[in-house]
């Protein structure tokens, strides 16, 4: 029996290999068809969630820049500029774009422009939780998204900090039939490559042992860590800084140095308000046995 199996494998081994390749290709194609890319082609509304500092803003700005280089127009709005509790369209058109028209006229003009160039125009609104966003978006978010439905040449991307997702875009209100959702994972899975790139950019010697702390999945954490090393005059990570406690302390020191500058909060660096505030928050969480504070 074994001789027959061996003979069959020798005779049909190449065919079996090609069939396996075909099976893998079919699986990949099915995954693509059921994935976010195809979903967004049919429902061009994306909610991008992620933790603070994970890179959402940089991602949207980078995409908008690359689209412009390809001749694909985009509109990038910042959540921090939504400074009142007015209807979001009133804030966008009148306060930010200084236009005298309503949303239907505005979206209709964008639709015509997109059709004329044969490329979808995307409106990005970064950090809808910032500014007054958490106060007015919950009441307007669904109707705002719905206003794009009849404009097939337009797309909408909203980014939001994960901790505000439940408040502003809860799934029971904004379901999968209204928007596609993605979670920005930062440098998850490529921490070593990311730290290597950052250290090279800051002229810091790459540690012999790679950092595996989950904090290094966060681009902002990694940037502040490298910035703190550079400002302290280090060209390599000091001994003992591989431990997470040392890294976090160094991270807080870097933030304190940044905030105490005259153009920011202008206080004495020796007071170390960041460390005091952090310890107070942590102590409160311990005393109340809470993972989050209101």
pLDDT above 70 for 7: no
Q: How would residue 212 be classed by pLDDT, with cut points 50, 70 and 90?
A: low
Section 153-172 average pLDDT: 94
* pLDDT of the residue at 180: 93
Percent of the chain residues topping a pLDDT of 70: 93
The answer to whether 267 and 260 have CB atoms below 8 angstroms apart is yes
Q: Residue 162 and residue 5: Cα distance in Å, rounded?
A: 55
Section 113-131 average pLDDT: 95
Q: Quick: pLDDT tens for 18-50.
A: 888 888 888 888 887 777 777 778 889 999 999
> What's the whole-model pTM score?
0.74
CA 173 to chain centre: 22
- Residue 181: strand, helix, or coil: strand
Comparing CA positions, the residue from 260, 264, 255, 193 lying closest to residue 221 is 255
């Amino acid at each position: 029996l074994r001789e027959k199996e061996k003979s069959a494998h020798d005779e049909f081994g190449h065919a079996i290999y090609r069939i396996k390749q075909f099976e893998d290709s079919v699986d990949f194609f099915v995954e693509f068809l059921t994935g976010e890319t195809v979903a967004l082609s049919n429902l061009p509304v994306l909610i991008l969630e992620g933790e603070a500092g994970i890179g959402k803003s940089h991602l949207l700005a980078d995409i908008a820049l690359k689209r412009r280089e390809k001749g694909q127009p985009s509109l990038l709005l910042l959540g921090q500029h939504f400074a009142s509790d007015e209807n979001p369209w009133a804030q966008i058109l009148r306060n930010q774009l200084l236009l005298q028209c309503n949303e239907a006229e505005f979206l209709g003009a964008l639709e015509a422009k997109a059709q004329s160039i044969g490329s979808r125009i995307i409106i990005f609104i970064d950090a809808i939780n910032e500014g007054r966003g958490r106060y007015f978006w919950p009441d307007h978010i669904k109707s705002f998204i719905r206003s794009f439905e009849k404009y097939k040449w337009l797309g909408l991307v909203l980014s939001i900090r994960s901790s505000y997702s439940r408040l502003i875009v809860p799934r029971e209100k904004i379901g999968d039939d209204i928007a596609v959702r993605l979670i920005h994972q930062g440098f998850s899975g490529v921490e070593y490559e990311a730290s290597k790139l950052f250290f090279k950019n800051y002229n810091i010697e790459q540690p012999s042992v790679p950092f595996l702390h989950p904090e290094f999945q966060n681009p902002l954490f990694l940037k502040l860590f490298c910035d703190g090393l550079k400002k302290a005059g280090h060209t390599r990570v000091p001994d003992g800084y591989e431990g997470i406690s040392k890294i976090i302390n160094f991270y807080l020191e870097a933030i304190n140095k940044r905030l105490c500058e005259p153009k920011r909060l202008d206080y004495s660096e020796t007071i170390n308000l960041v460390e005091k505030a952090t310890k107070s928050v942590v102590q409160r969480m311990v005393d109340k046995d809470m993972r989050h504070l209101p």
